[in-house]
Amino acid sequence: MDNMDRDTKRSERTARRKKQLRARVLLLILLFILGTAAAVFLILRFTPTSRRMPYEEYFGPVKENEAAIVLQDQILTDQYAMISDSGAVYLPHSLVRDSLNERFFWDEENAQILFTTALQTFEIPVGSDSYTVIDGALPDDSSSKAQYDDVIALRGSDDTLYLNLDFLAQYTDIDYVFEESTKHVFIRTQWGNMLTAEASKEAAVRYRGGIKSPIVADLLKGDQVIVLEQEDHWLKVLTQNGFIGWVKSNRMTEPAQVSLEHEGFTPVEYPSVPMDGKVSLIWHMISTTQDNKAFPDDIASMSGINVISPTWFALTDNEGNVESLGSRTYVEEAHRQGLQVWGLVNDFSPDMDNSVMLASTQARRNCISQLAGYATTLGLDGINIDFEHIDPGDAFTYTEFVREISIVCRKLGLVLSVDTYPPYDFNAYLNRPEIAAVSDYLINMGYDEHYVGSESAGSVASLGYEEGAINNLLLMGVPADKLISAIPFYTRIWYTSRDTEGNTCINSEELSMNAVRATLESWNLTPTWDPVTAQNYIAWNTDDGVLCEIWIEDAASLERKALLVSANDLGGCAIWALGFQDDTVWDVLSQTLSLTEEEASARIKTLEEQDLAAAAGSAEAATQTEADTEAEDGPQAAA
C-alpha cells in the first residue's frame, strides 16, 4: 500500500506540473499575442500614413478642358479656369473683375472688353488675337491695331466670358503657376511682408494636421512656404505651386517675416495733375447764365480760396448730352483773381437714367467729348464730377466712366476731381480707392449727416461724422494727398411737433450762417457749445409748442473740421457753398489749413482739453445747483 500511495502521489504531482506548465505556456502565448497586438497598435497609431489624397478629391472634380483655381490661399469651388486647345489658360471674366483687375471692363453694348491705361484705351473683341489701341478715350482719337499670340477673350460652351491669363498678367500684379498634371492653376495676388518658413528636411504636406491625414504635396529641403496658421507641432502652409495643407513644425525652420517681391512686373501708373500745395475749393451755385455776372460781387470778401467750382454742367439725357451754363468771362476774371476754375457736372436731371447712360460706351464717350470741348472753349483748369445717383448696379460702369474721362483730362492737363459720399455699408459698392487712383482728387462730401427726410433731428456735419469718413477712406487705401475733405457753410433748423393724432413730425429747412444769426437775434437766444458734435447748439420752443433746434456751423466748428485736413496732411478742403458764409470764417479757415501736421495735432489736443475742462465745470455747476436747491427746499420739507 505504501508503494501504491507513493506512485499515486507522484502521478498527481506530475499531472499538476504539466497543468502548470500548460498554463504558463498559454499565459506566455497570450502575453505574446497581447504584446504583438500592442506593438502593432502603437506602430499603426504613430506611423505616418503614406496615403496620398487624389487630386480630384483635393481640388474637386473638373471637366476635361478645365482646371481648378487656387486664388492666393483659397481653393475656388464655383469657378474654374478653361484650358484652350493650344494649352493657354483662361480665367472667367467675372473673377478677373471682382478679384484681380477691375480695369478689364466688359462693354456689353459692343461685345468687347475695354482696358484703360493712363493715356490709352484697348478695345478687345471676343474671339480675336488682335485689338485696337486708341491713343485716348474717344472715337476721334488716333488708333492702331495690335497683335497678340493667342485669342485674348473668348466664350466658353456655357457662354461664360473668359480672359487670357498671360495677357491679364501683363497688366496685373499677379503671378501664376499652371500644373497640367494636377489640373490646377495657382494665382498669387499678395506681395510684401509675409510669414514664411523653409523645409529643413523632406516633409509631407497633409490635408489636415495629423500624421493619419492623407498627403497632398511634398516638400524638399529648402522649399519655401507661406505660413497661414500655427498650432502645436503643426503649421498650415501654402506651397509655391498652390497646395494648402499642414506640415510638422519640427521639419521646418522657425517662421519669420520675409518680403516677397513681384520681380519683373511694372504696374500701370496713372500720373496725377495735382496743385501746388493744398486745395482750398469752394463751390459756386450757378442756376442760370445770369448768375455768372454776379461772380465779382460774390467773391469780393472771399479770401484763402484757390479753386472755385461753378455748377455749370448737367447731364440732360441717356445719350450723354451735357448742358452748359459756362462763361469765358467768368473764367478769365477768376484767373485774374488767382483762382483755378473746375467746372462741376451733375446727374440731377429727371430726364436721364444714370444706369442707362453709364452702361453705354457711346453715351459715356459723348459726355466726355462734350465736357472736354467745354473745358477747352472756356479755358477751364479742371473738371469736378458730382454724380450722386449711382446705384449698386452702376458701380462698374461708373468707375469705368471715371477711368475714361481721366485719360482725356490727363491729355488736356485738366485736374479731375470726383465727389463721393462718406463710406458706409450701404454705399460700399463704390470703389473709392480705384476712383482715387485714376483721378487727381477724391472729395468726401462730409455733410448731410442729417438731411431732409431724416427720422430724427441732428447735426448736418458733426466732427465725428467728418473724422470717421476721413479715417475710413485712409484705411481703404485712398492716398492722403489725394483726399479732399468737404465741409458745409450751411446748417438746418429742425422743427419737431405733434400732429392731431399725436404722431411726431420732423421738418427742417436750410439756413446760411447769416440766417442763423438773424434767427438767434430774433428770439434773443444764446447757444452753448456741444463738445460731442463740436458745434454750438441751441433749442427752444415756439408759442405753439414746436421744438426748434440748430446745430450751428460757424468759425469755431469749421476750425475743428479744417484741423482734420492739416492733422492728416490731406490734399485739401472743399466748401459747400459760396454765399452761405459770413466773413468771420475766411481767416480762420486759411490760418488753420496752413498749419503743419504737428501744429494742427497740438491745436486739436488743446481744444479737446478745453472741452474736457468745460464739461467738468458744467458738471460741477450742475451739482452745486442741485445742492443749493435741496438746501432751499429743506426747511420747507421739515415744516
For the domain that residue 477 is a member of, what is the CATH number?
A: 3.20.20.80
Could you tell me the pLDDT band of residue 630, with boundaries at 50, 70 and 90? low
pLDDT recorded at residue 639: 38
Is the same domain home to 231 and 92? Answer: no
Q: How confident is the model at residue 17 (pLDDT cuts 50, 70, 90)?
A: confident
Instruction: Return the ∠ at Cα 259 (arms to 256 and 262), rounded to 5°.
Output: 140
Determine, yes or no, domain membership for 412: yes
Same domain, 183 and 249: no
Q: Tell me if 10 is assigned to some domain.
A: no
Q: Is residue 510 one of the residues assigned to a domain?
A: no
| Core vs surface per residue 323-354: b (16+ CB within 10 A) or e | ebbbbeebbebbeeeebbbbbbbbbebeebbb
Evaluate whether residue 253 is within a structural domain: yes
Which residue would you say has higher pLDDT here, 185 or 1? 185
pLDDT, position 548: 98
Q: Which of 269, 304, 329 is the last residue of a domain?
A: 269
Claim to verify: residue 181 and residue 201 sit in the same structural domain: no
Q: 74, 103, 82, 58: which is closest to 189 by C-alpha?
A: 74
Name the average pLDDT for the chain.
Answer: 93
Residue 630 lies in a domain: no
Q: Is the dihedral of CA 155, 160, 161, 164 positive or negative?
A: negative
Are residue 156 and residue 212 in the same domain, yes or no?
no
Whether 627 is covered by a domain: the verdict is no
Question: Are residues 369 and 340 part of one domain?
Answer: yes
| Span 407-436, average pLDDT | 97
Distance CA(283)–CA(430), nearest Å, equals 23
| Residue 116, pLDDT score | 97
Task: Mark whether 243 and 313 lie in a shared domain.
Answer: no
- 222 occurs within a structural domain: yes
Domain that holds residue 172: 47-189
Q: pLDDT band for 629, please (50, 70, 90 cuts).
A: low
Label residues 555-578 b or e (16+ Cβ within 10 Å = b): bbbbbbbbbbbbbbebbbbbbbbb
Mean pLDDT of 476-482: 97
Total structural domains within the chain = 3
* Mean local confidence (pLDDT), 131-145: 96
222 and 305 in a common domain: no
- 240 and 294 in a single domain? The answer is no
Q: Grade residue 624 by pLDDT with cuts at 50, 70 and 90.
A: low
User: With 90 as the cut, is the pLDDT of residue 615 above it?
Assistant: no
pLDDT score, position 22? 77
pLDDT at 616: 84
pLDDT score, position 638: 42
- pLDDT given at position 622: 63
Phi first, then psi, for residue 128 (nearest 5°) are -125, 150
- Rounded Cα gap, residues 498 and 545, in angstroms: 9
* Res. 16 pLDDT band, cuts 50 70 90: confident
CATH code, domain carrying 206:
2.30.30.40
Residue 511 forms part of a structural domain = no
Give mean pLDDT, residues 109-128. Answer: 97
pLDDT above 80: residue 538: yes
- % pLDDT > 70, the chain: 93
Residue 274 banded pLDDT, cuts 50, 70, 90? confident
Note the pLDDT of residue 27. 77
Please determine, for residue 324, whether its predicted confidence score (pLDDT) is greater than 50.
yes
Instruction: Give the mean pLDDT of 576-590.
Output: 97
Contact 444, 486 (CB under 8 A): yes
The tens digit of pLDDT for each residue in 173-203 reads: 999 999 999 999 999 999 999 999 999 999 9
- 100 and 122 in a common domain: yes
Average confidence (pLDDT) over 129-149 = 97
On whether both 242 and 134 belong to a single domain, the answer is no
pLDDT of residue 41: 52
* Contact status, residue 582 vs residue 552, Cβ threshold 8 Å: no
Question: CA-to-CA distance for 491 and 506, rounded, in angstroms?
Answer: 16
Asked if 337 and 375 sit in the same domain, the reply is yes
Q: pLDDT value at position 637?
A: 45
Same domain, 461 and 386: yes
Domain boundary among 269, 301, 324: 269
Say how far apart CA 148 and CA 115 lie, in whole Å. Answer: 15
Rounded to 5 degrees, what angle do the CA atoms 96, 97, 98 make?
A: 95
pLDDT tens per residue across span 561-582? 999 999 999 999 999 999 999 9
pTM above 0.85, yes or no: yes
Which pLDDT score, from 0 to 100, does residue 21 have?
76
> Quick one: which of 227, 260, 264 has its CA closest to 245?
227
Neighbours of 544 (CB within 10 A): 6
